[in-house]
Structure 1
Amino acid sequence: MIKMNFDMIVFKEGDTFVAYCPELDLSSCGNSVLNAKEMLRTAIRLFLEESEKMGTLDEILSEVNYTVNHDGRYVPPKIIAAEEVSL
């Protein structure tokens, strides 16, 4: 399994907590913040494993601007700002 970092945003929809990874555009949900975060980690792990099996992992991570650091860990582009905006 590759080593990688990713950002996680958690929000609430009704009674459900949703954990979202913007770099990979993946999400999962749970009945608590902790559960949603655990479920997202599982979803990302499965996505990476399947992408690796299909031979598309490097292409996918390159397309979403991941880089590899000196330790061989995949690192996402940095989120510079996040804010709620109205139009």
Structure 2
Amino acid sequence: MASLSTDIKGNVTKVQVEVMLVLDEDSGQYVAYCPVLELSSYGDTEAEAQQAFEEALSFFATDTARRGTLDQLLLALGWRLTKKPATIYEPPRFPMELLNQPARTRRMITKEVLLPA
């Protein structure tokens, strides 16, 4: 399950998301895909796909923090902002059609990245 942490000012400081690793049988490549952030990467092995995804996630975090667009982007991707004692973002549901597609190799992993405050 995805989650976000915020600082006292409401700035997002940490995000944890689920990533699906799938072997694409047509290309023989492993694909790492995170639908709640619309990020993906690929590699010849699971490890390469995970490493490429970590790089994409790091770039995503750095770029959105630098531009100040993370809040807008999350809302555009279907996240809901709820205000309680602290700012909380709720991610959209993981698309079940992705989980129901046939694949010889599929595995879910959770990734966490610290965002610049």
Query: Normalization by structure 2: what TM-score?
Result: 0.57
Give the match for residue 9 of structure 2: none
- 5+ residue gaps, structure 2, are 1-11, 103-117
Give the match for residue 16 of structure 2: 5
- 5+ residue gaps, structure 1, are none
- Aligned pair count reads 85
Give a deviation string over 1:29-79, Cα, whole Å, max 9, x none.
1121122012111101101211111111111123320658x8988663343
* Change in CA separation of 1:37 and 1:53 when aligned onto 2, cut-off 3 Å: same
| Structure number with larger C-alpha Rg | 2
Name the one with the larger strand percent: 2
Aligned-partner Cα distance in 1 for 2:16–2:88: 7
Name the one with the larger helix percent: 1
* Change in CA separation of 1:67 and 1:36 when aligned onto 2, cut-off 3 Å: farther
Indicate the structure whose relative CO is greater, using CA pairs within 8 Å and at least 6 residues apart.
2
Identity %: 26
Q: CA RMSD in A?
A: 2.9
* Change in CA separation of 1:71 and 1:56 when aligned onto 2, cut-off 3 Å: same
Assess if the C-alpha contact under 8 Å between 2:35 and 2:94 holds in 1: no
